[in-house]
């Protein structure tokens, strides 16, 4: 029997509620698999890093934290964010430290309108919105290069320099073209801003063209990031796989999640495609302090992240069962949480998913 070592990092806010829910669902799948030929189990280890750890230790995670994660098969992450700690500290001290430390350069964000969910777009049929956004996750606007001088004086100056490398752009383009080629429509949209940003984004476009030649089966086009927002709202069916820079994709994927019904439904995977390091799976939403500790968080984005985690581990049968169960549960409006206009709690949705898993054979 295979045993997968999973690191669980709930982090802050509702991360502390949705990660245990995800763990319960993974455990239910492992239990169900004991009846089948292909059985597996999970060896979970929890790490209490985040805002509380920062208050106690002055850092979001220990100096040797990456070493503790290094030999795990995957990481299930909640969120990092604390109303009393500056956002750049919570982000750089935990999530980005792991993403960059493990060179998880491909951030993959699927978006679909799940059964039973009403998105805000009128005239948008469920099948019109079926996207995967690939976010460059290692450089660009999040390179961390820059500085501040003369703080507090009228001559104060500050820079955030976006660094793009040929190696970094080539590898994310190749990942995106390959992903597009694996999807039925074989359609890729390269998001750019090369009209205004005339150096790095022009290189981005040139490399897209160069890599496209390796993937003749993929139909691709290019769109400016501003025009892309219009296209997502008004012509969603013209899009399938998208690739964008770190910042552009961050913004576009929140829009995508909102158009699919709620931030609480969407998953994301931070992948090291070369599998040198563990990859990390997390819901797209943040810590949502307004609803934390009340049992109201929608755990579906975390469950869908668990589907991506299972696919990454090669447990495709279990991944398929979980996705099917998620769709049964979203189709039932009595299991909708507050973000979807319902009254269900995190515990109710988690229980419903675990019960249905128990009824399915893995």
Provide the binding-site residues for ligand ATP, judged by CB under 6 A: 14, 79, 81, 263-264, 285-291, 297-298, 301, 337, 339
In the structure encoding, which two tokens stand for residue 264, read together? 């609480």
Nearer to ligand ATP, 140 or 299 (CB): 299
Q: Indicate left, alpha or beta for 143 from its phi (over 0: left) and psi (-120 to 50: alpha).
A: alpha
CB 342, min distance to ligand ATP, A? 10
Nearer to ligand ATP, 119 or 301 (CB): 301
Nearer to ligand ATP, 12 or 315 (CB): 12
Q: Three-class SS of residue 144?
A: strand
CB 254, min distance to ligand ATP, A? 8
Cα 144 to Cα 282: distance, rounded to the nearest angstrom: 22
CB 54, min distance to ligand ATP, A? 14
CB 302, min distance to ligand ATP, A? 8
Nearer to ligand ATP, 241 or 305 (CB): 305
Residue of minimal Cβ distance to ligand ATP: 286
Nearer to ligand ATP, 25 or 32 (CB): 25
CB 289, min distance to ligand ATP, A? 6
Q: How does DSSP assign 94-114, residue by residue?
A: IIHHHHHHTT--EEEEEEE--
Q: In what order do the strands lie in the sheet with 219-224?
A: 40-46, 2-11, 74-79, 279-283, 267-271, 106-112, 130-136, 241-244, 187-192, 219-224
CB 136, min distance to ligand ATP, A? 19
- Residues 132 and 242 sit within 8 Å (Cβ to Cβ): yes
In the structure encoding, which two tokens stand for residue 214, read together? 């390796």
Cα 85 to Cα 332: distance, rounded to the nearest angstrom: 38
Nearer to ligand ATP, 77 or 177 (CB): 77
């Amino acid at each position: 029997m295979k045993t997968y070592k999973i690191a669980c990092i709930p982090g802050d806010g509702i991360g502390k509620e949705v990660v245990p829910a995800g763990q319960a669902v993974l455990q239910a799948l492992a239990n169900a698999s004991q009846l089948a030929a292909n059985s597996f189990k999970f060896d979970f280890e929890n790490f209490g890093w985040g805002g509380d750890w920062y208050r106690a230790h002055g850092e979001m995670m220990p100096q040797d934290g990456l070493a503790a994660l290094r030999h795990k098969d995957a990481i299930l992450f909640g969120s990092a964010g604390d109303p009393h700690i500056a956002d750049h500290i919570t982000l750089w001290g935990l999530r980005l430290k792991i993403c960059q430390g493990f060179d998880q350069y491909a951030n993959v964000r699927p978006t679909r309108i799940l059964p039973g969910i009403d998105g805000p777009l009128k005239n948008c049929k469920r099948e019109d919105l079926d996207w995967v956004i690939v976010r460059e996750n290692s450089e660009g606007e999040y390179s961390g290069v820059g500085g501040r001088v003369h703080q507090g004086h009228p001559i104060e100056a500050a820079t955030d320099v976006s660094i793009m490398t040929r190696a970094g752009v080539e590898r994310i383009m190749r990942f995106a073209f390959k992903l597009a080629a694996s999807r039925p429509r074989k359609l890729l949209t390269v998001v750019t801003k090369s009209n205004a940003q005339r150096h790095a984004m022009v290189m981005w476009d040139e490399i897209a063209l160069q890599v496209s030649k390796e993937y003749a089966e993929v139909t691709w086009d290019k769109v400016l990031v501003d025009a892309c927002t219009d296209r997502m709202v008004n012509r969603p069916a013209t899009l399938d796989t998208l690739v964008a820079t770190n910042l552009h994709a961050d913004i576009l994927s929140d829009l995508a999640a909102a158009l699919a019904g709620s931030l609480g439904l969407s998953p994301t995977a931070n992948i090291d495609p070369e599998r040198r390091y563990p990859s990390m799976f997390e819901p797209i939403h943040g810590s949502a302090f307004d609803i934390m500790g009340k049992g109201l968080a929608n755990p579906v984005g975390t469950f869908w992240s668990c589907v991506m985690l299972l696919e990454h581990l090669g447990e495709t049968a279990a991944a398929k069962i979980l996705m099917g169960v998620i769709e049964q549960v979203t189709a039932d409006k009595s299991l909708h949480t507050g973000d979807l206009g319902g009254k269900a709690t995190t515990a109710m949705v988690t229980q419903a998913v675990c019960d249905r898993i128990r009824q399915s054979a893995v």
